[in-house]
């Protein structure tokens, strides 16, 4: 069975982004970019399945600009076997990403697609569910454990009240939550090896998909800032302030 892992190139999670003064978006020039952290977890899970003999090949795919090749090389260095870049200059919305991924699924016929639960730039949390719907497949979202069986998989999901275990028919879509695993770091020899692994480049037209936006971004605003607070010296002073000044106790 092949496992497909979609990986997105995003602003690194340690970067504190800035809103452009003219409200047209977020400043992305000279900002450190990395693989979406949830996608690292997804890649790790796929590689572990191959190492356990449950998957034959791990294919990483990214929709993005030419620089998303670096993200794919990271996936290859972690252990993915080959990669596909679908080039798109501007940010592509989850619905269009899902349509492109559907095209890749139809061409590659994987038994499982593992995505991140959420991209930390758009915070949409949609793409996996959309891909699942477009394919008419089952979905196990926000997974903190995944066990593959014959023709089905058991997924433990992180839900609002705790955990939920479900069984889903294969082929399936799984989206990775934080506790699914701890992704490995790529070793230097593996980074070197990754440079020679196959990486093919496609365009949205190859899949007959147009990536025109559906949501118009009217503007991007700075969030409301909090007024600076004070330090208090003692518990007694804190309680006094909470009661008399803040009125919350």
Ligand X SMILES: Nc1ncnc2c1ncn2[C@@H]1O[C@H](COP(=O)(O)O)[C@@H](O)[C@H]1O
Ligand Y SMILES: Cc1cc2nc3c(=O)[nH]c(=O)nc-3n(C[C@H](O)[C@H](O)[C@H](O)COP(=O)(O)OP(=O)(O)OC[C@H]3O[C@@H](n4cnc5c(N)ncnc54)[C@H](O)[C@@H]3O)c2cc1C
Q: Which residues bind ligand X (CB under 6 A)?
A: 6-8, 36, 38-39, 42, 62-64, 92, 94, 97, 115-116, 118-119, 122, 124-128
DSSP state of 19: B
Q: Residue 96 CB, nearest distance to other proteins (Å)? A: 9
Taking CB under 8 A as the criterion, the residue among 54, 129, 184, 207 binding other proteins is: 129
Q: Spell out, one character per residue from 229 to 248, where the chain touches other proteins: x when CB under 8 A holds, - when not.
A: xxxxxxxx-xx-xx---x-x
Range 10-29, binding other proteins (CB under 8 A): 11, 13, 16-17, 19, 26
Residue nearest to ligand X (CB): 116
Cα angle 215, 116, 130 (rounded to 5 degrees) comes to 45
Among 47, 67, 26, CA closest to 180: 47
Taking CB under 8 A as the criterion, the residue among 56, 107, 124, 192 binding other proteins is: 124
- Locate 206 and state its tokens: 């190859």
Scan for tokens 């979905």, then name that residue: 139
- Locate 68 and state its tokens: 């998303």
Taking CB under 6 A as the criterion, the residue among 19, 28, 33, 120 binding ligand Y is: 120
Q: Which does 223 bind (CB under 5 to 8 A by kind): ligand X, other proteins, ligand Y, none?
A: other proteins
Q: How far is 217 from 77, CA to CA, in rounded Å?
A: 36
Other C-beta atoms closer than 10 Å to the C-beta of 178 total 13
DSSP state of 56: S
Q: How far is 62 from 80, CA to CA, in rounded Å?
A: 13
Q: How far is 231 from 45, CA to CA, in rounded Å?
A: 45
Q: Residue 177 CB, nearest distance to ligand Y (Å)? A: 10
Interface segment toward other proteins; rule CB under 8 A; list 9-17, 50-58, 73-81, 183-191: 9-17
Q: Residue 32 CB, nearest distance to ligand Y (Å)? A: 13
Q: Given the complex with other proteins, which of 79 and 116 has the nearer CB atom?
A: 116
Distances in Å between the alpha carbon of 107 and those of 96, 100, 103? 17, 11, 6
Q: Given the complex with ligand X, which of 5 and 186 has the nearer CB atom?
A: 5
Q: Residue 109 CB, nearest distance to ligand Y (Å)? A: 30
Which residues have CB under 8 Å from 19's CB, separation 6+? 25, 26, 27, 220, 221, 222
Range 15-54, binding ligand Y (CB under 6 A): 37
- Using CB under 6 A as the criterion, which residues of the chain lie in contact with ligand Y when the complex forms? 13, 37, 120
């Amino acid at each position: 069975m092949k496992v497909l892992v979609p990986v997105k190139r995003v602003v690194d999670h340690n970067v504190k982004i800035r809103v452009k003064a003219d409200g047209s978006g977020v400043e992305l020039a000279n900002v450190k970019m990395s693989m979406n952290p949830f996608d690292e977890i997804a890649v790790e899970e796929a590689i572990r399945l191959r190492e356990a003999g449950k998957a034959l090949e791990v294919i990483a795919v990214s929709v993005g600009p030419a620089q998303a090749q670096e993200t794919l090389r990271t996936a290859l260095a972690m252990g993915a076997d080959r990669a596909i870049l679908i080039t798109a200059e501007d940010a592509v919305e989850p619905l269009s990403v899902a349509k492109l991924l559907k095209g890749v699924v139809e061409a590659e016929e994987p038994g499982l697609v593992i995505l991140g639960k959420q991209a930390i730039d758009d915070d949409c949390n949609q793409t996996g569910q959309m891909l699942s719907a477009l394919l008419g497949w089952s979905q196990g979202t926000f997974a903190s454990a995944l066990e593959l069986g014959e023709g089905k998989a058991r997924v433990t999901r992180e839900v609002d009240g705790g955990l939920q275990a479900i069984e889903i028919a294969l082929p399936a879509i799984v989206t990775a939550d934080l506790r699914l695993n701890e992704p490995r770091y790529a070793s230097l020899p593996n980074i070197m090896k990754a440079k020679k692994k196959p990486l093919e480049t496609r365009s949205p037209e190859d899949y007959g998909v147009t990536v025109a936006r559906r949501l118009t971004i009217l503007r991007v605003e700075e969030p409301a800032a909090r007024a600076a607070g004070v330090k208090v010296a003692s518990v007694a002073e804190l309680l006094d302030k909470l009661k008399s000044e803040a009125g919350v106790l």
